[in-house]
Chain A
Amino acid sequence: MPALSELEAAYKAAAKDSGFAAELAQLQATYIGRPTPLYFAKRLTEQLGGARIYLKREDLAHTGAHKINNAIGQALLAKKMGKQRLIAETGAGQHGVATATGAALTGLSCDIYMGSDDIARQSLNVFRMKLLGARVIEVSTGSRTLKDAINEGLRDWTTNVRTTHYVMGTVFGPHPFPMMVRDFQAVIGKEAKKQIMKAEGRLPDYLIACVGGGSNSIGLFFDFLSDEGVRMIGVEAGGRGIETGEHAARFAGGSIGVLQGTKSYLLQDDDGNVLGTHSVSAGLDYASVGPEHAYLKDSGRAEYTYANDEEALNAFELLSRTEGIIPALESAHALAETIKRAPALSKETVIVVNLSGRGDKDVQHVARIKGIEL
Chain B
Amino acid sequence: MTSRITRKFSELRKKGQKAFIPYIMTGHPTLQRTGELIRLLEAAGADIIELGVPFSDPLADGPTIQKAAQAALQQGVTLSSVIAFVADLRKTTQVPLILMTYYNPIFKYGEERFARDASAAGVDGIIVPDLPPDEAGNLIAFCRKAGIDTIFLLAPTSTEERIKKVAQASRGFIYYVSITGITGANLSMDASIGSHIAHIKENCSTPVAVGFGISSPDEAATVSQFADGVIVGSAIVRQVENPDEEISRYLLSLRKAVQ
Contact = CB atoms under 8 A, between A and B. Distances in A.
Given A1-B132, A273-B56, 19 more contacts: A2-B158, A2-B159, A3-B157, A141-B66, A151-B59, A158-B60, A158-B182, A161-B157, A259-B57, A259-B104, A260-B59, A268-B104, A271-B79, A271-B105, A272-B108, A273-B78, A273-B104, A273-B105, A274-B104
Contacts of B157: 2-3, 161-162
Residue from A154, A266, A270, A273 whose CB has the most chain B CB atoms within 10 Å:
A273
A261 B162 contact: no
Contact of B130 (A141, A261, A273): A261
17 contacts: A1-B132, A1-B134, A1-B158, A141-B63, A142-B57, A147-B57, A151-B58, A155-B181, A161-B157, A161-B180, A258-B130, A261-B130, A266-B104, A271-B105, A272-B105, A273-B105, A274-B104
Contacts of A1: 132, 134, 158, 162
Nearest to A270: B108
A272 B106 contact: yes
B103 interface: yes
Contacts of A261: 130
Is chain B's binding surface mostly helix, strand, loop or mixed? loop
B55 A273 contact: yes
B248 interface: no
A160 interface: yes
A102 B104 CA distance: 34
Interface string A146-157: 011001001100
Contacts of B181: 155, 158-159
Contact of A257 (B80, B108, B182, B185): B108
Is chain A's binding surface mostly helix, strand, loop or mixed? mixed
Contacts of B59: 151, 154-155, 260
Interface string B78-107: 111000000000000000000000011111
A272 B107 contact: yes
B104 A158 contact: no
A156 B10 CA distance: 37
The 8 closest A-B pairs by CB, nearest first: A272-B108, A272-B105, A271-B78, A159-B181, A273-B56, A272-B104, A274-B56, A2-B157
B108 A268 contact: yes
Interface string A252-271: 00000111110000101011
Nearest to A161: B180
B182 A155 contact: yes
A148 B57 CA distance: 8
Interface of B: 54-60, 62-63, 66, 70, 73, 78-80, 103-109, 130, 132, 134, 155, 157-159, 162, 179-182, 185
Residue from B56, B78, B109, B162 whose CB has the most chain A CB atoms within 10 Å:
B56
A160 B181 CA distance: 7
Interface in A1-56: 1-3, 5
A258 B57 contact: no
A148 B62 CA distance: 13
Contacts of A273: 54-56, 73, 78, 104-105
A270 B109 CA distance: 8
Contacts of A274: 56-57, 104
B158 to A, nearest CB: 6
A260 B55 CA distance: 12
Nearest to B67: A141
Interface string A127-154: 0000000000000011000011001001
A144 B130 CA distance: 21
Contacts of B70: 141
Nearest to B166: A1
Contacts of B106: 272
Nearest to B179: A159
Given A1-B132, A272-B79, A257 B104 contact: yes
B115 to A, nearest CB: 16
Contacts of A142: 56-57
B57 A260 contact: yes
B214 to A, nearest CB: 16
A303 to B, nearest CB: 26
Contacts of A2: 155, 157-159, 162
A141 B106 CA distance: 23
B228 to A, nearest CB: 23
A142 B54 CA distance: 13
A155 B55 CA distance: 15
B103 A258 contact: yes
